[in-house]
Structure formats: C-alpha cells, structure tokens
Structure 1
Amino acid sequence: MATTTYAPSFDQSIRDLADHPVINTMAAELLAAPSDVLADLTNADGGPTSVFSEAASAEFFRQTGQHGRFLGTVAHAVLRRLNTLLAEINAILIAALPDEASEAWAAELEARQAVKDFWKYGSPRCALTRYAESAGKLADRLAADGG
C-alpha cells in the first residue's frame, strides 16, 4: 500500500468525496450487488482492489469530469458510503424486529416463506402444496378403502 494512503490529506480527500451525489449514487447501486461481487471489489484488508479503484475513478470522471485528489480516493469514498448505507439499513431492520420471538411471529415467518417458495418455485415444489397433495391422496386412499 502506498504511503500516501496514510497522509491526512488522503483521508480528508475521502471525507470530502463521501457526501458527493455521484458517490452516493455509486454506493446505492452497489447495494443491489450480490455479496460475491462485493467481495471481489475489496482486498483482504477491506480496501478497494486496483480494478475497482480504476473503475470507480473512471465512472466518477465520466459523470463529473473530475478526478479524486489521490489514486483510489473515489473507490475508498464509495466503500465508505456503502458501509454507511448498509449500517443504516441494518439499523432499520433491527428496529423492525419484535422484542421477543413468539410462536405467532414464527408462524408468520413460516407463512411468508411458504408464499415466497410458492412464487419462486411454483406449486409443484412448494412445501405447502406438496403437503396438501399428499394429504389429499391419503384422504382419497382412505375413502376408497372404506375407512
């Protein structure tokens, strides 16, 4: 890692870019990226890869006609803003959770998952549909046997 990344002006440049509307847009677009794509954007210490640094700088220049003060400041600013957005979303999700888990809440979650499964996999693979079909076949067999 270059020594300029430790300079106070490098960090200040990232802070200055962090609230730029283009940086916000780029970070918001990354929210929809799959986790494996996000993992490819960062190296082992959490900083941006060189490929991501180049791509982020090019996109920032394309939209604004400007460059960051240092190489990689745009990518660092995007990652910083992305982490802020993720923290805000997590806080909202955590606040929406009930204080304690109850059987009613668990049943509600199971029902929601069953509906998602139905729409995702269609009726033949939906667990509730398979259960209903099995129960129907059993009922028909019992009725046919007279008992």
Structure 2
Amino acid sequence: MEIQKNLIKLNQHFENKEDAIKFCGQLLVEGGYVNPDYVPAMLERDKELSVYMGNFIAIPHGTDAAKKEVLKTGITIVQVPRGVDFGTEDDPKVATVLFGIAGIGNEHLDLIQKISIFCADVDNVVKIADAQSVDEIVGYFAD
C-alpha cells in the first residue's frame, strides 16, 4: 500500500460526516486519482451503507457505479482529533481517522482489507490519531 505524503492531512475538523467525506474526495481529485464526479458517489456510498468501520475509523469510498471515475488507485489519511460523527444522535459512531480510498478494478478491496487489518488493533488507530507529523504516519504503513 503506497502512501502519498500529500494525501495525509493532520489536525482537521469537520462539522459533519458529509464535509469529511467531501474533503477526502477533494484530496483524491487534487491528487489526480479520481474525476470530480467520484466525490458525490462517495456521499452516495455512505447513504447506502455507512463507511464507518468501527475502532474510530471511517473509509469513505465511491459506489461501484463510480468506478469509471477512478483514474488510479489512491488513499488519503485524514486525522480528525476531535472526531466526526458517522452515526446518529441515538447511536454515535465517532471517527478520528479517515481513509479516503479509490481503487482501479478490485484494488479498493485490497486497500480496505489492509486498512482493516492494521486498524483491528485500536492501538494502531491511536498512533495515527496522535501522530505529530506526516512522516510518522507514513512510517506506520512502511512495508
């Protein structure tokens, strides 16, 4: 899993999950990973099935129909120290780390699997959430 430093953002704050998802999508657009039409598909995907994965992480990504908008596989890592709620008032689901992903073909499944394995240990999520530099985060994913 190749991590691009320009796609890692520290200390972000969002009013709501929609703003958080759009931010992840815009990073992918600016990085040349997806066309702008991929971003609304990321919002649609969360409406169909929450992109919140537990352990304080969310993995915003587009719908299957939006695969044609993916130019190359990429991943954003966004640190949200105060968290952003992907749940409801009755059932909050707070994410402090967002992994915005786009994958060619089925590569997004590989990304989700790698992120899920890494983040299954909540200590790893805490490391990312507490990281003080982009290089520190890149180091956690170095093979």
Higher relative contact order (Cα pairs below 8 Å, separated by 6+ residues): 2
Q: Common fold, TM-score beyond 0.5?
A: no
| TM class, shorter-length | under 0.3
Output the TM-score relative to the length of structure 1: 0.24
Greater percentage in strand:
2
Output the TM-score relative to the length of structure 2: 0.25
